Amino acid sequence: MKPRILIVGSSGQLGIELVKALSAESDLMTLSRREADLTNTVALRSAVRDLQPQFIVNAAAYTAVDRAESEPDLAHAVNAVAPRALAEVALELGAWLIHFSTDYVFDGSGTAPWKETDSPHPLSVYGRTKLEGELAVAATGCRHLIFRTSWVYSAHSNNFLRTMLRLAAQRPRLSVVNDQIGAPTSAGELARATQRVLTRIDQPSAHEPESGVYHMTCAGSTSWFGFAEAIFKRFAGMVPTPELVPIPSEQYPTPAARPRNSVLDGEKLQRLLGVRLPAWEDALDQVLAELRSTGL
């Protein structure tokens, strides 16, 4: 029997890729933003309870990092209160909750990759509300896996890759921050990794994994400037290639502070769940191939 999987936030960047990855081997159900108001937890609980899923995959989040500084209540409702509601229903149903979080729970100090055991210290409203969501999920006692990831992009939706390609058609010169380091992670790779985890859990002979936080990003690291360089190198001759100028964060001020070091250590994910994502460059190649096939 196929597992009953519910994706909350199915119309978002990650949700679209999760639908692709999970639809073939599951009894898949979805709740998009239009179908489930995450600020109405009574209705959200009722909708999930009616569907009776075995796995709840929460791909919904308030991700407007800078706007969150002026909308903290809304960010808190979506990133902290709604995940707690989903976790409470998961506990009631005996279901697993898969929840996605972020590198922004850390302050970016130091140069070593962040481990799950390192103490979070978010710099922004977005990071703080995502951390509150993590803690709220764990506090319910439901079976849960929290996947922290970073720098998510895809061939669709609004993201750094799409922004670079759009700006290249408008400007001959682009200034890109060069002192924030992380791992660009495609939504497709996140979805496929999640699919592998769920398949493993659903096997009758499988040992139940340890609930908790896992870091899930593509392997390797680069700066935003390095990410931009890699994009235009691969698209040379297909889109205008702007002059790229590396700049420090201080020359690109934003309402929300960003961590300088966003590299996450994925050893726990590989050791306990048997999953390792490919190098960020390889994932980028796959996304760009998708873009080329659809004519950008």
CA gyration radius for the chain?
Answer: 19
CB 185 within 8 A of CB 218: yes
Catalytic residue, chosen from 126, 153, 214, 252, is: 126
Told to judge if 126 belongs to the known catalytic residues of this protein, a careful annotator would answer yes
Distance from C-alpha of 32 to C-alpha of 61, rounded to nearest angstrom: 12
Q: Are strands 143-149 and 96-102 parallel, antiparallel or unpaired?
A: parallel
CB 6 within 8 A of CB 45: no
Q: Convert 192-223 to b/e letters by CB count within 10 Å (16 or more is b).
A: bbbbebbeebbeeeeeebeeebbbbbbbebbb
Amino acid at position 160, single letter: F
Distance from C-alpha of 93 to C-alpha of 228, rounded to nearest angstrom: 44
DSSP of 126-161: HHHHHHHHHHHHHHHT-EEEEEEE-SEE-SSSSSHH
Distance from C-alpha of 227 to C-alpha of 219, rounded to nearest angstrom: 14
Residue positions annotated with a catalytic role: 126
